[in-house]
Structures are given as structure tokens and as C-alpha cells.
Amino acid sequence: MMTYQKTLRNSISCTGVGVHGGQLVNMTLKPAPADTGVIFRRTDVADEVAEIPARFDTVTELVMCTTIANDAGVKVATIEHLMAALSGSGVDNVIVEIDGPEVPVMDGSSAPFIFLIECADTVELDQPRRYIKILKEVEVRDGDAVAVLTPGDNISVSFEIEFDNKRIGQQQCRVNLRNGAFKKELSRARTFGFLSELEQLKSMGLAKGGSLDNAIVLSGEDILNEEGLRYDDEFVRHKALDAVGDLYLAGSQIIGQFTGYRSGHALNNKLLHAVLQDDDAWCYTTEAPLRTSQVGGAYWPEQKAAAPATA
């Protein structure tokens, strides 16, 4: 069955703080024609250097977030939560106007961006949606971390994490991203960090805008947020959310199974490079994935090192 590309019906704006830079940022999501993709446009720089396509090959930095840049060096950081919301909402084409170098963190999840997209509404365009179909297994590793894409009939994400911290420990989840599953199962999962590492991150120029309003903060095994967790396994769900956003930088939704074990932004991007540079590993298709609401189960590489992760 063929599906058609979507964009927003209306423009919609928000204001928020960048979690790493700490700057107040204004952002507007605008409708775009078919085959535009996701384009970030910096409104605080000259027009001729303002646009940055959101693609795996425009990614330049991957420390604690995903950053894209154009040939002029103009950057936008922390795009992964917005990209995940666009993917989960089926938005193929959008212009993201932003007056600073970082997407606002909002509450640390994708839920506020889902809300914006639903308020703006979406509309079908007259061009078929083009998917990337995985044809063979591709795996990348970095030490103990593993990221894999395998053939499948659906768009699905599996993730496993392991932390020395007993409050997190070992967690795993799997979600087939159809029929609104992203919104229900992943979108509200927030980023997280450790109070003990906050000063070190700030000395690196990171987490300047981080707070209990936009992240889960742990002190030892205690969660400092008064409201507690939104999901019992919110930590692994957020890692899966990040992966959805990073994978959307392929330029199309991927029909296949992503499996991550302790993977992060850098390894997710490395996987996209490995897949898309191998002509035998993928093809374009306009045939939509199978419709399913299945959630649960797990698939993990048979051989993976079990070692404690770091934050």
C-alpha cells in the first residue's frame, strides 16, 4: 500500500531554553512542499548561509546531542528530540526556523513537539512517501556498544541499557512505530543525567540550561524530580527516543529493525553511514510497512559484551 508525504497544515511557534547552551531560543515549524525534507533555517544569520538540511551527512558533533552544520559552519544542536517527534508524527517535509544555535529542550522529551505538531495539524501532499528498506543486516560497534539494522516488515526500535547505578540497572524495550506507538510508548520519556557530573559537563560548555524542569536528575540512586518517573523504564525509553530521532536523519523513515545495546548518538550516526554507503544494504520503496500495533518482545545480538555503561 502506498502512502503520501505529509507536511504541516499551519505554522506554529514555541520558545524555550537550549539545554546545553542555556540560551533562550524562538522556533517556528512551517509547512514545506513535497520532497523538501527537514530543513533548519537560522533566522539570526545571513540568508545565504541560513539553511541546514537535517541529514546524516550534515552531522558534525555528537557529544551529548546531535548537531548538524552547513558548509559555512552554521550549526543547530540538540535536534534529536524534535526529529523523533517529526518521525513519530509522519511529517516528511518541514522548515524549522530558529533564532539560535540549539533547539529548545522544552521538558527534555519529544512530547511538547508532538503537541505542537498536533496543534498545527498535518496535511497530505500529492507525492508518495519514499521509505528506506533494509535489505541485509548491518552492524557497527564501539567497544561494548552495538547498533544494528536488520531487514523487517515494520519500523521498529529495540534498545537495551546497562548502568552500574542500581536505580537504572539493566533495562530493555521494543516498540513497533506504527499506529501512534511513538506518542504512547516513547514520546514522554525525558533525558537524564547525574548530579555528580553536572559541574564537569558545565566546564565542557554543556548542560548550562539543564534543570529538573527538563531532565531526570539522579543523585546516587535517588531521583530528585518530585514527580518521579513517567514510565517505570523511562531511561531506556529515552534512549530509544533518541535513536528514532537520529535514524530520521537518513532522510526517510526506515523499514527494518533497529537494535541498540548501549548505543548513543555517535554510534547511531555511524550505523547510518555504514548502511547508506553500502548499495546492497538498502533500497528506496514507496510500499508502506505493515500496519501493526504490536509492542513488546525483544531481539538482541547473540553476542554482546555485558559491561556497565557510563552516563
Q: What angle do CA 231, 102, 178 make, to 5 degrees?
A: 40
- Cα separation, 160 vs 92, in Å, equals 28
Q: In 79-191, which ranges are E strands?
A: 94-98, 122-128, 131-134, 138-142, 145-150, 155-162, 170-176
- Cα separation, 241 vs 106, in Å, equals 15
Torsion of CA 302, 306, 310, 311, to 10 degrees: 50
Q: How far apart are the first and last CA of the chain?
A: 42
Q: Which residue has the cell 526556523?
A: 97
Q: Quick one: cell of 163?
A: 548502568
- Cα separation, 77 vs 97, in Å, equals 13
Residue 15 contacts residue 73 (beta carbons within 8 Å): no
Q: Is 273 a catalytic residue?
A: no
Residue 154 contacts residue 176 (beta carbons within 8 Å): yes
Tally helices (H) and strands (E) across the chain: 6, 20
Q: Catalytic: which of 20, 81, 238, 265?
A: 265
Q: Which residues contact 298 (CB under 8 A, 6 or more apart)?
A: 158, 160, 172, 173, 174
**Conformation bin of residue 21: beta by default, left when phi > 0, alpha when psi is -120 to 50:** alpha
Q: Which residues are catalytic?
A: 265
